[in-house]
Amino acid sequence: MEITMIKLILLLAYLLKHTSADYRTEKNRLIELDRERTIGSKLHLTEKENRANEIITSLKTSELQSGFEDPNKFPSSQHFFDIRKTIRISRIFQIIQKLPKGSSLHIHSFALTSQEYLYNLTFRENLYASISSSGELSFRFFPSNTSTNWSSLSQLRRTNRSNFEEFLKSKLTLVREDPRKSYPTVEDAWSAFQGIFSTVNGLISFKPVFEDFFYQGLKELREDNVKYAEIRCTGLYAYDMKGKVYRDEEVIGIYAKVIKRFRRDYPDFVGAKFIYAPHRKFVRANIDEEIEVYRRIRKAYPELVVGFDLVGQEDKGYPLSDFVTHIEKIRDIGGNLYFHAGETDWFGFESDENLFDAVLLNATRIGHAFALPKHPGLVEEVKRRGIAVEVCPISNQVLELVGDFRNHPAAVMMADGVPVVVGSDDPSFWGAEGLSHDWYVVFMAMTSRRTGLRFLKQLALNSLSYSSLDGKEMGRALEQWKVDWDEFIEFVIKRY
């Protein structure tokens, strides 16, 4: 009897041991199948890249573990306004700053620079301001001794410096100490956001500032190891002190001269191109005029003007379906379509279903596509057609679409292998710089703890392969990126 009992115990132990081993094997198999769908999972790493990967994943795991044990120590679960300074001390952030990120493919022309640079522009000579009864601020440059109802900025500063300075800064940024209280709804955030564009228009549109601002924007991108940009431009307008107004192709001509000067100063910079992007809320009545503007600027600068988009809050603007009959005219002009679509929390509304129109209209890239994971069939179609999604996580949080970056829907898209590029949208207005802040929250909050260098490398390569660079330009860009990448790998190994 005792011998039988011993045999039974041994048999049970054997079965438990092998069942446990089989379970672990099966679990690892499923995890590996899951990981194989993630962006970058198919990339092969060299020996040096593997060493750098071990360093990066170790630092990432350490930072994540600290946040897992004490959520208050995990920056990417909190509002960006509260964590900007905290992010800067992260070693992962410092590595991402050094990482050659390729291209910036989703950024707007009047929000290119740091918040500090934008504010410092208000110290320019001959700048005047007008403050409406409702507190709206406008800028304009006038020659000295001009008779005008506008008030000199220098005089306003002297009269009531501390209060005016606080007021002025509040009109140039969305940053607030309590953003949830300041912007309780998406509509509140968008209203303030669009108000900034109205405020800075007269400041940035002054031709000397216009040129300096654009040059500085390119410089800050390059300092953040971004060597190429595709920029949405809306309302092509500039003016000078003599009263001359520059429109449309003249403005693109100004951009072209600045790019030429910048590339002369920094030969490793690949360049910049433009996507013409009228505002969707106002464009329906004059869509034919906007198409004509696009025709003229593309004819004048076909190498710089590469596509068409419609921008603005989708929930309040006209849907893409209203413009279907006009798209053929736009397509005949040439260039690509880069539609903002699905930048909404709503499900089944026109703003959500803009995604279907963007796909059917053969968009090359879709801006934001925040709502895309709600449509699994459309996700597969996006993957099949090779349409890239421009993900701008900080913008989505600041504009009240998502609270915790870990819950951003792009996490699902990237885990499922949807082609993704990371953009910064309008960094001037919320204190981000370059692309590194957005890359950081993507990497730390929107990818698995196990995700490392392969993902980062693929993101950079995506930013080039889904750009509008032609064959020769692409070759030059990839060659420059490869040099920068090899230097980056050496830096990570030696520094960490």
Sheet containing strand 151-152, edge to edge, reads 137-141, 127-131, 151-152
pLDDT of residue 3: 67
Alpha helices in 99-160 (DSSP H): 115-120, 153-159
Confidence of residue 448 (pLDDT cuts 50, 70, 90): very high
Residue 445 has pLDDT above 90, yes or no: yes
Of 30-39, 146-155, 292-301, 437-446, the one with minimum mean pLDDT is 30-39
What does the angle CA 382 – CA 433 – CA 442 come to, to the nearest 5 degrees?
40
Of 252, 424, 418, 230, nearest to 337 by C-alpha is 230
Q: Are 339 and 358 in contact (CB under 8 A)?
A: yes
Could you tell me the end-to-end alpha-carbon distance of the chain, in angstroms, rounded to an integer? 63
Rounded to whole angstroms, the Cα distance separating 354 from 322 reads 10
Confidence of residue 1 (pLDDT cuts 50, 70, 90): low
Token pair recorded at residue 403:
């609270």
Q: What is the DSSP string of 276-332?
A: E--BTTT-GGGHHHHHHHHHHHHHH-TTTEEEE--BS-TTTS--GGGGHHHHHHHHH
Amino acid at 71: P
Q: What is the pLDDT of residues 454-494, one digit of tens each?
A: 999 999 999 999 999 998 999 999 999 999 999 999 999 99
Of 1-5, 86-90, 108-112, 368-372, the one with minimum mean pLDDT is 1-5
**What average pLDDT is seen over the chain?**
93
**Three-state secondary structure call for residue 45:** coil
Q: Tell me which CATH code domain 80-113+211-489 carries.
A: 3.20.20.140
Averaged pLDDT for residues 325-338 = 94
β pairing state of 226-233 and 137-141? unpaired
Q: What is the pLDDT of residues 184-193, one digit of tens each?
A: 999 999 999 9
pLDDT of residue 362: 95
Residue 160 has pLDDT above 80, yes or no: no
Residue 257 has pLDDT above 60, yes or no: yes
Domain spans in the chain, listed from the N-terminal domain onward: 80-113+211-489
Q: What is the pLDDT of residues 381-415, one digit of tens each?
A: 999 999 999 999 999 999 999 999 999 999 999 99
Averaged pLDDT for residues 318-337 = 93
Whether 106 is a known active-site residue: answer no
Rounded to whole angstroms, the Cα distance separating 142 from 128 reads 7
Phi then psi for residue 22, to 5 deg, are -65, -40
Q: Are 341 and 354 in contact (CB under 8 A)?
A: yes
Stated pTM of the model:
0.93
Phi then psi for residue 281, to 5 deg, are -75, -25
What are 338's strand-pairing partners?
365
pLDDT of residue 16: 65
Q: Are 275 and 309 in contact (CB under 8 A)?
A: yes
β pairing state of 151-152 and 127-131? antiparallel
Catalytically annotated residue among 79, 106, 108, 368: 368
Whether 368 is a known active-site residue: answer yes
Catalytically annotated residue among 343, 353, 390, 433: 343
Confidence of residue 2 (pLDDT cuts 50, 70, 90): low
Residue 21 has pLDDT above 70, yes or no: no
Of 25, 43, 38, 80, nearest to 438 by C-alpha is 80
Contacts of 414 (CB under 8 A, 6+ apart): 38, 39, 391, 420, 442, 446, 447, 455
Token pair recorded at residue 398:
């600041």
Residue 15 has pLDDT above 70, yes or no: no
Q: What is the pLDDT of residues 128-142, one digit of tens each?
A: 999 998 889 999 999
Q: What is the pLDDT of residues 340-352, one digit of tens each?
A: 999 999 999 999 9
pLDDT of residue 332: 94
Residue 380 has pLDDT above 80, yes or no: yes
Of 34-38, 179-183, 291-295, the one with minimum mean pLDDT is 34-38
Phi then psi for residue 259, to 5 deg, are -60, -45
Contacts of 74 (CB under 8 A, 6+ apart): 63, 64, 66, 67, 68
pLDDT of residue 146: 75
Establish how many alpha carbons lie within 13 A of residue 280's alpha carbon, considering only the half-sphere containing its beta carbon.
21
Higher pLDDT, residue 401 or 36:
401
Rounded to whole angstroms, the Cα distance separating 196 from 36 reads 43
Q: Are 485 and 457 in contact (CB under 8 A)?
A: yes
- C-alpha distances in angstroms, 289 versus 251, 292, 294, 306? 17, 5, 9, 18
Rounded to whole angstroms, the Cα distance separating 256 from 262 reads 10
